[in-house]
Amino acid sequence: MKIKRCAAVHDISCIGKCSLTVALPVLSAMGVEVACVPTAILSTHTAGFSGYTFHDLTDELPKITAHWKKENIELDAIYTGYLGSFAQLQFVSDMIDDFKSDSMCVVIDPVMADHGKLYTGFTPEFALEMGKLCAKADVIVPNLTEAAFMLGEEYKENYDRDSIHALLLKLAALGAKKVVLTGISYEDDKLGCATYDSCTGEFGEYFTEKLPVAMHGTGDVYASAFTGAYMNGKNLIDSASLACDFTCACIKATMDDIENHWYSVKFEKCLHLLAM
């Protein structure tokens, strides 16, 4: 049987277990071939380490995809995460146009922010531009902070189901067909996601237990597991739910050792849960 191929467009953080060093193992464990498109190489991720190195690879990216086109390489999905510049947003937009086919899906995780704040190096203007790129996505996977910044709205810590549904509709109006909003909690002990499919008009939600910790890298773990499940034919809410369960399992596997392992989750211990 043909194996599905996903181009993963993310940075490589050599230490920190996020972006490509998460997308590659998670998607591979799910039986998806990963074509890596490294946007930059950093010595560590940018959250919690100081003095990290950053080597931008923007100039290399169109050369990689031009070669792929010449070799008639086809993609079943393009999955983007951490993008470091306006030029990289343009590259991804062009790449989607170049490889688009009826069966190819585009998943955009607009990695930029969390807990009400933009990550180091990002600006509100970049977030609005990322919002424009979302028009080309089949599915977008923002957290609440990224959603607010892409819409140019204030980040609100308090919300109810109606306001989340309104937010999902506004995100879909950016042009993406389907939206998965992560980090949603209506009850103190539950955390999960809310979904909207503009093709069917259907809303969905799924929750797991809320663990009393916040950990780096979980957004990438979530979006990678979501992409693998979606590529393997699961529908929107089932893919979003599988990703919730997997992310929760990864956090649990790390909780007894947060002091040593503060920079990400021990997803390695949970990869077996993904075998499909």
Site for ligand PXL, rule CB under 6 A: 11, 13, 18-19, 42, 45-47, 82, 111, 119, 217, 219-220
Q: Say how many CA atoms lie within 13 Å of 169 toward its Cβ.
A: 8
Least Å distance, CB 101 to ligand PXL, is: 28
Q: Which is nearer to ligand PXL, 86 or 186 (CB)?
A: 86
Query: How far apart are the C-alpha atoms of 68 and 50, rounded to whole Å?
Result: 36
For ligand PXL, the closer of residues 24 and 104 by Cβ is 24
3-state secondary structure 102-146: CCCEEEECCCCEECCEECCCCCHHHHHHHHHHHHHCCEECCEHHH
Our CB check for ligand PXL shows the closer of 131 and 217 to be 217
Tokens 């467009």 sit at which residue?
9
What is the nearest approach in angstroms of ligand PXL to the Cβ of residue 187? Answer: 26
Query: CB under 8 Å to 29, separation ≥6 — which residues?
Result: 228, 271, 272, 274, 275
Task: Give the nearer residue to ligand PXL in terms of CB position, either 104 or 253.
Answer: 253
Rounded to a whole number of angstroms, the minimum distance from the CB of residue 12 to ligand PXL is 9
Minimum Å gap between C-beta 124 and ligand PXL is 17
CB neighbours of 257 closer than 8 A, spacing ≥ 6?
A: 266
